[in-house]
Structure 1
Amino acid sequence: MGETTFSEEEMQVFRKLFDDWDGNKDGVIQKEEIGPALRAAGADPSEKEISEFMTRADTNNDGVVDFNEFTNMIEEIKRTVPKETLLREAFKAFDINGDDKVSSQELKAFLQKYGETLTDEDAEELIGLGDVDGDGMLNVEEFIRALQEFD
């Protein structure tokens, strides 16, 4: 794969994500760091899935995933996985307490992990933009609809 086509802002987010996945902070992602990183994002990968991820991502076969391989993997996923599937997986990461809804506090906490700060009012306003049923939170369908509208 060649050069990625992500914006500078996207690359900054991916760098933060990469750094989070790099548990021992050695500048590369090792196989044993993948499982905990995916679990922290709301997934529950099997050992087989972790091995498959590593095989697909480690394109130079050196046993680790560097930042370039990481962004190439994101680009491949973006190209090959249906957008709704990606948004459903993203919802799980935002739904910190696992109640199948994203509150303004969960939105704020998730974004803070990636360097974005929101006031309580801003978080509530963002939730309100997609909150169709008026409960002050986003369910998965509202989350998907809201993100697709802003794309």
Structure 2
Amino acid sequence: MCRLGTGDLRRIFENLDRNGDGQVSLEELNWLLEKICVHHSVDELESSIGKPSLNFDEFLHFYDSLSLGGTTRSGGLESPEGNEGDGDQETYLAEAFKVFDLNDDGFISCEELQSVLSRLGLWDERSGRDCNNMIRAYDTNSDGRLDFEEFKSMMLITIS
């Protein structure tokens, strides 16, 4: 999973916290997870998290547990201490690619990247230029979109 910066995570948190109380409910968190194709019930989240809502620091901790390999192929949470092999990493990257490949054509376009970033609350005018630049930076065959191998290269560089 691509690591997001604290500023990006703050924007996501603030977009999820619709009533402005400094807490993200499990329903709000589940809505976000569904948007990125990580499926849990609210009961599963509560069992895993142990409380009905998260403040920003707890949200960061939850994100860290996911970004350290804490999602299984079925979408369940697993311990961040688990070792993921190269096959698991390939599976995670393929699942992440599917999140961005909205029309399932095997490529990620700037429009698809923008759409996913919008759903996560990370889209603004500056991001639009960044989408084009990001695509161009990893588009090794210069076709204006990312195939899986280009996406994988981008993610492995970002994760390292």
TM value normalised by structure 2: 0.62
- The aligned counterpart of 1:136 is 144
Pairing of 1:14-93 with structure 2 (within 5 A): 14-43=9-38, 45-47=39-41, 50-58=42-50, 61=51, 63-81=52-70, 82=84, 87-93=93-99
- The aligned counterpart of 1:145 is 153
- Return the letter of the residue paired with 1:76: S
- Cα distance in 1 for partners of 2:14, 2:103 equals 23
Structure 1: unaligned runs, 5 residues or longer: 1-8
Deviations 1:11-47, CA, capped at 9 Å, x for gaps: 111111112333444321212223321122233x142
- Cα distance in 1 for partners of 2:18, 2:141 equals 39
Equivalenced residues, count: 137
Structure 2: unaligned runs, 5 residues or longer: 71-83
Structure 1 residues 34, 99: closer, same or farther in 2, change over 3 A?
A: farther
Task: Identify which of structures 1 and 2 has the higher relative contact order when contacts are C-alpha pairs closer than 8 Å and 6+ apart.
Answer: 2
Deviations 1:88-139, CA, capped at 9 Å, x for gaps: 454344334454421123334555642551565x644431332245532112
Pairing of 1:4-15 with structure 2 (within 5 A): 10-15=5-10
Percent of aligned pairs sharing the same letter: 27
TM value normalised by structure 1: 0.65
Q: Give the conservation status (yes or no) of the 8 Å contact 2:97–2:151.
A: yes
Q: Give the conservation status (yes or no) of the 8 Å contact 1:100–1:140.
A: yes
